[in-house]
Structure 1
């Protein structure tokens, strides 16, 4: 479909002006779709179904979406001035806007992750072999599938059969044993670095929201303390800016998920001081008051390793000036591959959806935060992790899978059983135009309804008190130390 285009130039990152090539937009969109298996991964009959009918092939869909980007670019009269054309970053922003506006959420995520991965390559923060592409660690997923297939826990239909036949115990035990073995391997790597003479003084446990960082931090440090290591844990939440410095959006929400929500300059200076043995005046943040209420003197002893559990632990500005040899980085994500239905559609359930439901439960239980608010906030979570978490996964010295085949059956009763926590449709009505929330709502709700639950009583018998999922469902026996 022809569209009017009056843009003739594009401003590159070095500010040079070059000829505008609409074909590059089309190719970028098509490549993002193909990287996840095609646009059908985003097919939503009541949202973009008519678009799929009008554009039956991926190539035709890419043509339409690229034209929509061009329309958006032309809508800004500033872009029509010869010396002030759109920048590369503005074009990429409009690509994401168009993809998300038409419900192509998975394609948009792949595009965003690739975009920011290329950014970190240009910045020199990662090497080419550490580039994560669309964010899917293929080798890890193939390894996890090779384990899950023989057990039949790689599809929703398989999970339901395990539930009906009462065969969860061996699956739970083997899954938890693999997680513990991965922690053992991480501890061995840390000790190997130290024994090789590396001046290791900083241990990061990083990963997206609700991936299991807290439990992983505790379990790993227990192993390392048995090896004689000593730690100083620094609570990075104390470096949040005050509420008055966090602007609210159209639904009175704030973006705490970007690394810039933290006072990065102060944090970086404090890390450098601690590594050099100098004391710091660490801020004390009151979430009740939404501001810093004081400071506390903290000093690292010469034999202590700084322990940091942080969403954005790999974000380069935080560790600017820190010797890479002094750092060990662990990345954790919910990486259990699970296909919808019997697997015949070839559509994987989203790792982010597991974490969304985990966080809904945690926010409700520990923060009196309604699940609807967590759902409405999740676009901030996703934008933050696609910018400064997932694209930097390649920096990890060790990757841990914090996802398990029993996640969905175990979490389901909290949301669809008696006293269900899942938001009612009428609760979402005031936000009918918020397509991101609507897509997540319908997708996760459908998945929850397709899963046969593990009852609370059965869960109490199956899941040990120190299991990672206890971090979210409660009943844990693992001592969680107070952060310094």
Structure 2
């Protein structure tokens, strides 16, 4: 009896392949036909690693390192190679821990603890070992073990962060990845072998080191390292906040929740944020010449609640603040420009009536009485409802919107009258020491929950629009963040455990045959790590309330 064959459709052409052929072998036939290496495949709508085997007739789509999921796979695989190289060079007995923290430039910032000296000689040896591992095209092997076996394994290898994490995981199995004898757990898929990870750099930076990687758009080259010093300092400060709370990983957080300590953690974290907001208000008041507080940040960073809380602190310093949302100056929706994909681009500056904004702000600065607009998101039009504003000498405008740091938005306003604040939700929590939580995931989850509650938008729609939102942020927000006078991190260390309760039902509502299902499934798997935190204990002035509801502010 002959070998069973299956029909496989790729790029509109159907061919036959034998049963159990690895997808990697099929992909080889198409080398050179894609604009970047194929990292994964989508088989009948399901994401698959290349070591998996053909089991039925199917349609296959390629996921390259130029795709978001493929790029994440590249970065994750590079981290695994880095960790193996570190332990190869130093020996396990000389390393207490290696921890990934946050993105810096196009790479990741790591720290290391243990007897081994972190110096240039060590980094050079690790980098050389990484290149050797890549050149050998070593297979990245995946195996599934029971959760109890994984916990015992992590304990044996002194990976106590992972042991703690999986003590709270309900799934019965854990997938481990290995290169040779080095084995670790990673959240997400891996490349098929080490030879895929050809482009990287490694160098010392700020008491740790950076694994610099190519960008999604240019997977074959390392961009110039351009650290954003202000954002790095804020991330470092947030990491120190986590250290003070004794929470660095999800396992640490789960331990606090299950042992009844989350109420104190919650209140301390909120108090830390309030102290920071008060500090910013003091700086504005001390300047004496500020009339426009410009608050900017990417989507779902909590700008509205922050502006209200800052206003309260400014009032406590003897000023009379007036919160203003730049969103109220949106042009009517049918006039909104479209991006290169034909989608309405609400994130571009041209979606704002800049002329009217400057006219109103200048008239307010001159002491005139101005009727303020309100944008109706349901009808997509700007409305005037008799809401007038007039400024006195102690009045100050607190203006929030994604373009707040861009001087093109406020071109007519005197520079010395502006105080710029950059706000973002910079997640300081890690899944474990080797698996970070991307800041973008935290903001996407916030947006899914908020938009479902306030705008009637499904999780499917929010996920579908997210790439457009991210493109807008890259173009319109991030280039200006270092121009801020002050930066504020709105992420709360406990928030994902709280958002879980709201986000999961919305994500479960996405059908398996929808394009957004892969992302929904990834986020649902991510939430499995968290023990939920009830929202009742969240203060009504918390930034988190902007997303889950119950805020004392009009958000």
TM-score, L = length of structure 2 = 0.59
The yes-or-no answer on 1:355 pairing with 2:443 is yes
Shift of 1:206: 2.0
Distance change in 2, residues 1:366/1:252 (3 Å): farther
RMSD over aligned CA atoms reads 3.8
Shift of 1:390: 2.6
- Matches of 1:393 and 1:440 in 2, distance apart? 28
- Matches of 1:452 and 1:244 in 2, distance apart? 44
The yes-or-no answer on 1:173 pairing with 2:275 is no
Partner of 2:422: 331
The yes-or-no answer on 1:286 pairing with 2:376 is yes
Residue 241 of structure 1 aligns to a residue in which SS?
Answer: coil
Shift of 1:465: 2.2
The farther-off stretch of 179-188 and 301-310 is: 301-310
Q: What do the CA deviations read for 1:117-170 (whole angstroms, capped 9, x no partner)?
A: x9xxxxxxxxxxxx727xx82222222222313533221121122222222122
Q: What do the CA deviations read for 1:351-410 (whole angstroms, capped 9, x no partner)?
A: 121121111111111111111111111112212222222332222222222111111111
Partner of 1:132: 228
Distance change in 2, residues 1:449/1:233 (3 Å): same
Residue 496 of structure 2 aligns to a residue in which SS?
Answer: helix
Partner of 1:8: none
Shift of 1:349: 0.6
Residue 451 of structure 2 aligns to a residue in which SS?
Answer: helix
Partner of 1:464: 539
Partner of 2:311: 221
Partner of 2:507: 422
- Matches of 1:284 and 1:154 in 2, distance apart? 41
Distance change in 2, residues 1:439/1:312 (3 Å): farther
Partner of 1:447: 526
- Matches of 1:160 and 1:167 in 2, distance apart? 10
Partner of 2:293: 203
Residue 166 of structure 1 aligns to a residue in which SS?
Answer: coil
1:231 pairs, out of 321, 326, 329, with 321
Shift of 1:286: 3.5
Shift of 1:312: 1.5
* Contact 1:200/1:327, CA 8 A, preserved across alignment: yes
* Contact 1:239/1:285, CA 8 A, preserved across alignment: yes
Distance change in 2, residues 1:337/1:59 (3 Å): closer
Shift of 1:227: 3.0
The yes-or-no answer on 1:319 pairing with 2:410 is yes
* Contact 1:175/1:404, CA 8 A, preserved across alignment: yes
- Matches of 2:485 and 2:187 in 1, distance apart? 38
* Structure 1: runs of 5 or more not aligned: 5-28, 61-93, 119-130, 432-436
Shift of 1:469: 1.1
Partner of 2:50: none
Partner of 1:389: 477
- Matches of 1:332 and 1:166 in 2, distance apart? 31
Partner of 2:97: none
* Superposed counterparts of 1:5-84, under 5 Å: 33-34=106-107, 49-50=191-192, 53-58=194-199
* Contact 1:241/1:291, CA 8 A, preserved across alignment: yes
Shift of 1:308: 0.9
TM-score, L = length of structure 1 = 0.67
Distance change in 2, residues 1:284/1:475 (3 Å): closer
Query: Which is greater in Rg?
Result: 2
Distance change in 2, residues 1:312/1:452 (3 Å): same
The yes-or-no answer on 1:241 pairing with 2:331 is yes
* Contact 2:427/2:437, CA 8 A, preserved across alignment: no
The yes-or-no answer on 1:144 pairing with 2:238 is yes
Partner of 2:276: 182
Partner of 1:267: 357
- Matches of 2:106 and 2:248 in 1, distance apart? 23
* Contact 2:510/2:520, CA 8 A, preserved across alignment: no
Residue 328 of structure 1 aligns to a residue in which SS?
Answer: strand
* Contact 2:292/2:418, CA 8 A, preserved across alignment: yes
Distance change in 2, residues 1:442/1:391 (3 Å): farther
The yes-or-no answer on 1:370 pairing with 2:458 is yes
* Structure 2: runs of 5 or more not aligned: 1-27, 34-74, 79-103, 111-129, 135-139, 141-185, 202-213
Distance change in 2, residues 1:449/1:224 (3 Å): same
Partner of 2:257: 163
Distance change in 2, residues 1:306/1:35 (3 Å): same
The yes-or-no answer on 1:398 pairing with 2:486 is yes
Q: What do the CA deviations read for 1:52-106 (whole angstroms, capped 9, x no partner)?
A: 544244359xxxxxxxxxxxxxxxxxxxxxxxxxxxxxxxxx975465xxxx9xx
Shift of 1:415: 2.8
- Give the structure with the higher percent helix: 1
Residue 320 of structure 1 aligns to a residue in which SS?
Answer: coil
- Matches of 2:32 and 2:331 in 1, distance apart? 45
* Contact 2:234/2:488, CA 8 A, preserved across alignment: no
Partner of 1:255: 345
Shift of 1:422: 1.2
- Matches of 2:215 and 2:417 in 1, distance apart? 39
- Matches of 1:141 and 1:284 in 2, distance apart? 35
The yes-or-no answer on 1:480 pairing with 2:554 is yes
